[in-house]
Amino acid sequence: MTVILAPGQERLAALESIWRKNLSVELDRGVKSDVEVAHALVARAASGHTAVYGVNTGFGKLASVKIPPEKTAELQRNLILSHCCGVGEALDIATTRLMMVLKLLSLGRGASGVAWSTITLLETMLARGVTPVVPDQGSVGASGDLAPLAHMAAVMIGAGEAWVNDTRMPGDTALALCGLSPITLGPKEGLALINGTQFSTACALTGLWTAWRNAQNCVVTAALSTDAIMGSTAPLVAMIHELRGHRGQIDMARAQSDLMTGSQIRESHRENDTRVQDPYCIRCQAQVSGAAVDLLRQAGAVLEIEANAVTDNPLVLVDPTHPDGGMIVSGGNFHAEPVGFAADQIAMAISEIGAIAQRRVALMVDPTLSFDLPPFLTPDPGLNSGLMIAEVTTAALMSENKHLANPCTTDSTPTSANQEDHVSMAAHAARRLKRMNDNLSVILGVEAICAAQGIGFRSPMQTSAALQAVITRLREQIPPLTKDRYLAPDLNAAAQMVRAGELVVASGLDLPLSGPAQTRVS
């Protein structure tokens, strides 16, 4: 299946589907004429005598150096090669492909001045599985994600490295293996390819989508934990949350209440509950995770705009009323401040979801707090330590996420001989989200293990049908803890179920991040 991209109009759900399902894409052919008009404007500027930044000049601090027309191709090639300064681990293939999709969306707006053949090469690389090897460190998120995107562009000119399926090889070899040829970059094309926020935005989007899945999981695990400790569902009464009015809080309370409907455990103590109030990690779950959900939705709205944005420089502003048919104007859309702020918001949400979930884990294993559950959820405490150290692991990961949640956008530093004197740091703001989400999935996986173990001690009373379906899915891979065993595989298995959304699917929960996808396919 090939997804037809509509530049300026793509929705988050459609992009997530492309990312998760490894789909091929192509631009709506209706944008071709706009792309070609802008390309013709650049070609005329390149052959003229007026200095136009990025077309016939040097770059950054070297913008005052005029480049003769016969050196245009060399100028663009040198730009790409000199900017391939990425270091660190290679970005994963799925996120790299998403970055390429976002670059197509940007170029397809017809304001970058590239040739249509450059666009079709990117499309064909995606279709035939040629994925540039892109080191994940080196961008400060201003003047675009220069180094990462240069590694993408390098393959297009027959340099750098690429994956073909799972095999890493030189870029020119990868192209040849898939029946493709390198291109010679025309005026401004190198700059159009590397000036932009697509690396930061792709990493932020994958962080957002993974965080949303974790947020859905936290509703499930919170509901399980509440039944495990025989907690009250009175704090989930809809009117409480409607009186406050925050959408995320209302949604999370409703979702948890629905999951717990029909629980025999809940009904067994509804009328004679001796506890007036549960600890905040139970009682304020909707308020805390709901606020995180609102942050994720806000970040999603920003990133949806950015995914459709033109963020290179200079921009080709086509205007039929202008004597020259338009203008080539230098601006600053490459500055990734909106992406950096969105990534910082996502990081805070991830951290807080994990913080309150970890407290529920601690609540269940602590015999002074867990309301007649056995110490550390083992039937034979003393001889067995049960889930004692699983809780310690969650504390370690929670603490790590708190440190990682510190804002990145406030840490600007001047670069490029002070020409780029304020930068967004969006790239590593977005990159750190993967590590944080991985940590959170373990915390939630451990919570699921503890809660299922706790609910087991409530037998013969049963939890709700929805939550029992979750426990059944969990038990397919992780048996109850009757005595101490090697626990690392259990923690890993639970985390993988969280990451894959298996517990959410089992519960029947449906909590949307945004509106429906508007994807067209051919």
CATH number at residue 93: 1.10.275.10
Structural contact between residues 520 and 3, judged by C-beta atoms closer than 8 angstroms:
yes
Q: Could you tell me the residue range of the domain that residue 6 belongs to? A: 2-196
Beta-bridge partners for 163: 131, 168
Establish if 374 belongs to a structural domain: yes
The residue among 36, 116, 112 whose CA lies nearest residue 329 is 112
Distance CA 192, CA 188 (A): 6
Same domain, 364 and 251: yes
Tokens of 278: 């549960």
Distance CA 266, CA 262 (A): 8
Domain final residue pick, 143, 174, 196: 196
The residue among 211, 217, 440, 219 whose CA lies nearest residue 303 is 211
Same domain, 26 and 50: yes
Question: Which backbone phi and psi does 163 adopt, to 5 degrees?
Answer: -95, 140
Same domain, 192 and 225: no
Structural contact between residues 37 and 325, judged by C-beta atoms closer than 8 angstroms:
yes
Per-residue pLDDT of the chain (522 residues; tens, 9 = 90+): 789 999 999 999 999 999 999 999 999 999 999 999 999 999 988 887 787 877 877 776 666 777 787 888 888 999 999 999 999 999 999 999 999 999 999 999 999 999 999 999 999 999 999 999 999 999 998 888 999 999 999 999 999 999 998 899 999 999 999 999 999 999 999 999 999 999 999 999 999 999 999 999 999 999 999 999 999 999 999 999 999 999 999 999 999 999 999 999 988 877 666 666 899 999 999 999 999 999 999 999 999 999 999 999 999 999 989 988 899 999 999 999 999 999 999 999 999 999 999 999 999 999 888 778 999 999 999 999 999 999 999 999 999 999 999 999 999 888 877 777 788 889 999 999 999 999 999 999 999 999 999 999 999 999 999 999 999 999 999 999 999 999 999 999 999 999 999 999 999 999 999 754 444 444
Q: What angle do CA 272, 448, 260 make, to 5 degrees?
A: 40
Does 367 sit behind a cis peptide bond, omega within 30 degrees of 0 on the bond before it?
no
Total domain count for the chain? 2
Same domain, 488 and 359: yes
- From the list 19, 53, 212, 341, the catalytic residue is 53
Distance CA 13, CA 3 (A): 13
Same domain, 176 and 212: no
Q: 139-148 b/e with 16+ CB inside 10 Å = b?
A: bbbbbbbbbb
Distance CA 379, CA 386 (A): 8
Alpha helices (H) along 72-197 = 72-83, 93-107, 116-128, 146-156, 171-177, 189-194
Same domain, 473 and 497: yes
Is 486 among the catalytic positions? Answer: no
Structural contact between residues 474 and 449, judged by C-beta atoms closer than 8 angstroms:
yes
pTM for the structure as a whole:
0.95
